Amino acid sequence: MRAVLDVRNLTTRFSTPTGALVAVNDVSFSLREREILGLVGESGSGKSVTLRSLIRLLPSIASQSGEVIWQGHDILKMSPKEVRAVRGGQISMIFQEPTTALNPVLPIGLQIDENLRAHTTLSHRERLNRARELMDLVGIPEAARRLAEYPHQFSGGMKQRAMIAIALASNPRLLLADEPTTALDVTIQDQILKLILDLRDELAMSVIFVTHDLGVVAATCDRMAVMYAGRIVETGTIADVFARPMHAYTRGLLGSVPRVGTERSPLMSIEGTPPGLSSIPRGCAFHPRCDFATNVCRVSQPVTETVEPEHDVACHNSLAVLEAGSPVQ
């Protein structure tokens, strides 16, 4: 299948009074048509900044390098005007906290209309009809009445549906989802995840799904990329990574999640805490917490290698990790 998005050596730095922080470090991945890619990591791993870097949705203290090739053009080299056409148009984004992402003083209908006006050539009447269609599409009942309502009149799950309706207004080819279900209850999360899967099928778009929940990844994504301290440490299909993790961090994450049959026994935890951006260890950033670390890990940064077809890993001891086996089998 053809790649719709190709990210090569993407690096994002923030210049702060105390020096430059590298939030995204030399990240490369590609995304195919209709594919859902899960970007997994703990807080501070750089997964959200990576997502925002793709459409240059960053504060002014950020500087970027590398390439983000979208339909043959490098987004990082586009003029501000060209970026605005892509961002919110061909590439849409939904956010974690619908309460803060929606404008509290504007009715939902107007917020959908804003996006339609910016990215389509529809007339006023057509836009109104399209807004109703979008509300139906994302499963908000009584669309006509609810278009006039304000965000505070919507429940958490309905707000997230409304945000998805806004994102879909421009017929995007790629949806960027930044922890869209983290703030929701489990039965509502289930509804939203299935909605995203249905929309992917109906609208034939690709999705990049940022989350910290491995269960969500297992239930929705086609491929996954695991991030640690600003780098992608492992990429592969869901089945491969869950069955044969090759990076010690991935293996530790999988083992940290409680699972059936091991009740009240100690979980396979990862000692220590993820490093801050200002104090990323030398060599492999994970070595202070790693059970497999050897001398080489302390001095040299492992390069990403394709160990199996479609399964890339950046670990000096990937074969030892592979041999140790997956904790979820």
Nearer to other proteins, 260 or 303 (CB): 260
Q: Give the separation between CA 218 and CA 273, rounded to whole angstroms.
A: 24
- SS3 label, residue 323: helix
CB of 79 to other proteins, least distance (A): 39
Min dist. Cβ of residue 300 to other proteins (A) = 24
- Residue 234's φ and ψ, nearest 5 degrees, are -155, 140
Q: Give whichever of 158 and 285 is closer to other proteins, judged by the CB atom.
A: 158
- Three-state SS for 33-70 is CCCEEEEECCCCCCHHHHHHHHCCCCCCCEEEEEEEEE
Q: Is 36 helix (H, G, I), strand (E, B) or coil?
A: strand
Strands 174-178 and 91-94, how do they pair?
A: parallel
- Return the number of the residue (6 or 213) whose C-beta is nearest other proteins: 213
Contact 143, 136 (CB under 8 A): yes
Pick 66 or 139: Cβ nearer other proteins: 139
What is the distance between the alpha carbons of residues 130 and 236, in angstroms, rounded to a whole number? 38
Minimal distance, residue 216 CB to other proteins, in Å = 5
Give the nearest distance from C-beta 76 to other proteins in angstroms.
30
The least distance separating other proteins from the CB of residue 158, rounded to whole angstroms, comes to: 8
Residues forming beta bridges with residue 63, ordered by sequence position: 13
Min separation Cβ 193 and other proteins, Å? 7
**Closest CB to other proteins among residues 123, 273:** 273
State which residue, 29 or 249, has the beta carbon closest to other proteins: 249
Contacts 24+ apart (CB under 8 A), 75-79: none
Neighbours of 237 (CB within 10 A): 16
Which residues of this chain interact with other proteins, rule CB under 8 A? 42-43, 155, 157-158, 185-191, 193-194, 197-198, 212-216, 218-220, 238-239, 242, 252-260, 262-264, 266-271, 273-274, 328
We find the least distance from the C-beta atom of residue 44 to other proteins, in angstroms, to be 9
Bridging pattern class, strands 305-308 and 3-16: unpaired
User: Taking the CA atoms of the chain, what radius of gyration do you get in angstroms?
Assistant: 21
Neighbours of 177 (CB within 10 A): 26
Query: Hey, what are 305's tokens?
Result: 């290698």
Q: Output 88 or 157, the one with its CB closest to other proteins.
A: 157
